[in-house]
Structure 1
Amino acid sequence: MNRRSLTSCPSSPNCVSTQAQDEGHAIRPLNFQRSPAEAMEVLKSAIGTLPRTRLVEQDGLYLHYEFTSLLLRFVDDVEFLFDSETKTVHFRSASRVGYGDFGVNRRRMEDIRRLVAGKM
């Protein structure tokens, strides 16, 4: 696996991560069949269709996006880490500020899962 890792979720309920162990934060990773580079392009293309997103870092098999909410302009950080050995994409989606997120981060990641289903 990569030397890089995802940031752990805080104790607050405004974060989901495929690497979290507790039920409140845990979420299933994405899987891919193509090469990591091809899968990454599919994911980037899907995210590109979503409003108010910005790719802030791409480094090897790692992506970091910012998602900005429409009304209050809150920024959420979303990280993706591709594991070429297991053909798995681990990810973390977390609000930068506040405590709760009304399930926004989990819904976003499930929406992305649907967008890339069968394409990666």
Structure 2
Amino acid sequence: MLAGLLLTACAGEIPPGLGLQNGRLAACPKSPNCFASQEGDADHRIAPLSYSGSRAAALERLAQVVAAQPRTRIVARSDDYLHAEARSLIFRFVDDLEFYLPADENRIEMRSAARSGWSDFGVNRRRLEQIRDAFSAD
């Protein structure tokens, strides 16, 4: 029973404020376990993805890349937005990954943040860079 409670606690609930708000993904908290391309703070900023071709094709490619990440599942998808959850291997902590494809801009804004804890030892930044590398690979 205790193990079940711990696993539930590690999962956490979807944080309020996820999703698009006026064409923007949520800002990162002060904790060093969040990275986003729309973030003004240099400590949390990561460059957006760029693509050529149609937005629909880019979203489909992105969905394939994200779904192929270990312990990751897509939980929401629309024509311009994708939300996925990634779980850590041992403790099953949940990180939220969000991607936004603005119309006619050929870029993908992205955000990855831990739901709990303070530091993630760079896991969210590395995950976004791995997604960037896989998305850009031929």
Q: Once the 2 structures are TM-superposed, how far is the Cα of residue 4 of structure 1 from its aligned partner?
A: 4.0
**Where has structure 1 moved over 2 Å in runs of 4 or more?**
2-5
Q: TM-score, normalised by structure 2?
A: 0.81
Aligned to 2:31: 12
| Identity of matched residues, % | 44
Aligned to 2:97: 78
Structure (1/2) with the larger strand percentage: 1
Please tell me the residue identity of whatever aligns with 1:76. D
Q: Once the 2 structures are TM-superposed, how far is the Cα of residue 3 of structure 1 from its aligned partner?
A: 4.2
Aligned to 1:106: 125
Aligned to 1:38: 57
Q: Once the 2 structures are TM-superposed, how far is the Cα of residue 74 of structure 1 from its aligned partner?
A: 0.3
> Greater relative contact order (Cα 8 A, min sep 6): structure 1 or 2?
1
| Alignment pair present for 1:97 and 2:106 | no
Work out the CA distance in 2 between the residues paired with 1:111 and 1:90: 15
Whose radius of gyration is greater, 1 or 2? Answer: 2
Please tell me the residue identity of whatever aligns with 1:54. R
Name the count of aligned residue pairs: 118
Gaps of 5+ in 1: none
Gaps of 5+ in 2: 1-20
Structure (1/2) with the larger helix percentage: 2
Please tell me the residue identity of whatever aligns with 1:62. Y
Q: TM-score, normalised by structure 1?
A: 0.92
Work out the CA distance in 1 between the residues paired with 2:103 and 2:23: 13
